[in-house]
Amino acid sequence: MSTIETAEHVTNSLDAIPAEATVEIYTDGACLENPGPAAGAFAIVYQGKAIHSAARFYGNGTNNTAELTAALDGLRALGDRNADLKVTLLSDSNQVIQAMNVWLANWKAQGWRRGGGKPVANRPLYEELDAVAQTFASLHWKHIKGHAGHEFNELVDGLANGAAQAGAAMAKA
Q: Residue ranges of the alpha helices (H) in the chain?
A: 63-77, 94-98, 104-109, 123-133, 151-172
Asked if 130 and 22 count as a contact pair (C-beta separation under 8 A), the reply is no
Is residue 3 predicted with pLDDT exceeding 50? Answer: no
CATH class of the domain whose range is 2-172: alpha beta
What does the alpha-carbon distance between residue 143 and residue 156 come to, in Å, rounded to a whole number?
Answer: 14
What does the alpha-carbon distance between residue 95 and residue 61 come to, in Å, rounded to a whole number?
Answer: 16
Percent of the chain with pLDDT strictly greater than 70: 93
Is residue 56 predicted with pLDDT exceeding 90? Answer: yes
Please give the residue that has the higher pLDDT: either 171 or 142: 142
98 Cβ contact list (under 8 Å, min separation 6): none
What does the alpha-carbon distance between residue 90 and residue 40 come to, in Å, rounded to a whole number?
Answer: 14
Distance of CA 169 to the CA centre of its chain: 23
pLDDT category at 11 given cuts 50, 70, 90 is very low
What does the alpha-carbon distance between residue 22 and residue 145 come to, in Å, rounded to a whole number?
Answer: 21
Q: pLDDT (tens digit, 9 = 90+) per residue, 98-154?
A: 999 999 999 999 999 998 899 999 999 999 999 999 999 899 999 999 888 899 999
Beta strands in 6-155, from DSSP E residues, in sequence order:
22-31, 36-46, 49-61, 86-91, 138-143
Distance of CA 38 to the CA centre of its chain: 13
Domain layout of the chain by residue ranges: 2-172
Percent of the chain with pLDDT strictly greater than 90: 76
Is residue 10 predicted with pLDDT exceeding 90? Answer: no
pLDDT at position 59, please? 94
Is residue 9 predicted with pLDDT exceeding 70? Answer: no
Whether the pTM exceeds 0.75: the reply is yes
pLDDT at position 158, please? 96
Which residues carry out catalysis? 28-29, 67, 92, 147, 157
